Amino acid sequence: MTGSFTDLNNLIERNKTKIKFIGERNEKIKQVKALIANTKPNPRRLFAAEGIWSAVKIIELNIPVESFIFCPQYIYSEQTYRIVESMLKIAGECFAVSDKVFDKLSERDKADGLLAVCGFPKYEINQLRFGENALVVVLDGCEIPGNVGTIARTCDGAGADAILLCNRRVRLTHPKIIKGSMGGAFTVPFVEFETVADCCAFLAQKNFSVFMADTRAEKFYYEYEYKRRTALVVGSEKYGISREWYDGNAKLLSIPMLGICDSLNVGVAASIILYDMSVKLGIKRN
């Protein structure tokens, strides 16, 4: 930021009735620590997103911000100043903390001094709308948050319409999902089904062709011609896809493994297959 901290000090002064200066023992700090630790019940589906990239996405996508925490000592660029300026307008509550307090919240070697607490977007089944060449991925029992985040990022990049969840094993508000998705978790709808049968019935009702990633498949993913509505099912990192999926009309596909490993990480595998599906379905950039 050009000059000294005069502009920031003026901004804080103009908003002094909204900004609260708090210490480590404040309840808001305790709440953020609990969200980051991801160990306590979270019925309101709140998440804590740290850093410039997440703040920019939150502002661009108009995601409601319950509270915003910033560290004045770390606001040293024009970009971070503008983010603080925007957050002061949209956040329900705004808090300023010292560098020592922010460092205890940050998971980075070099903190940006920005942290927002927001509600994770919630979608109902009846809100989903699909075009003729829709693409969805079904996560059946995925257990590693980083993989879920990677898949959300891929779905955003490949133009997928939704992520359907069965046998959910992770909280969607997990920091590794938010970070790993690089904003994809904010743009791609997540919809959860109580049972595999419910998800199967939904896909059948919406005329989706279902494909399952299975290392035992006799055909590789690129040997299929994907047409119209397509769903890819991937399973648990440890146990694979639930047995119930094999009782339907789903087709199996695999990725060729040319070395000593017999499979890929589920996030990597889903990315390879989803992009092939996206290209063959003719999905275009919005």
> Dmax over Cα atoms in the chain, in whole Å?
67
pTM score, whole prediction = 0.89
Residue environment code for 31-54, b if the CB has 16+ CB neighbours within 10 A, otherwise e: bbeebbebeeebeeebbbbbbeeb
**Which of 32-46, 89-103, 233-247 holds the top average pLDDT?**
89-103
pLDDT of residue 5: 59
Q: Residues 177-182: what's their mean pLDDT?
A: 92
User: Measured between alpha carbons, how far is 221 from 230 in angstroms, rounded to an integer?
Assistant: 13
Residue environment code for 95-109, b if the CB has 16+ CB neighbours within 10 A, otherwise e: bbbeeebbeebbeee
Taking all residues of the chain, what is their mean pLDDT, rounded to a whole number?
93
Query: All domains of the chain, ordered by start, with CATH?
Result: 6-119 (3.30.1330.30), 125-281 (3.40.1280.10)
Stretch among 10-14, 154-158, 273-277, 282-286 having the lowest mean pLDDT = 282-286
Query: Which backbone phi and psi does 208 adopt, to 5 degrees?
Result: -90, 140
Binned at pLDDT 50, 70 and 90, residue 2 comes out as very low
DSSP letter, residue 240: B
pLDDT of 283 strictly over 70: yes
CB 82 within 8 A of CB 2: no
Other beta carbons less than 10 A from residue 231's beta carbon: 25
Output the six-digit token pair for 1.
Answer: 């930021």
Convert the pLDDT of each residue in 196-211 to its tens digit: 999 999 999 999 999 9
Output the six-digit token pair for 197.
Answer: 């049968």
Q: Residues 34-52: what's their mean pLDDT?
A: 92
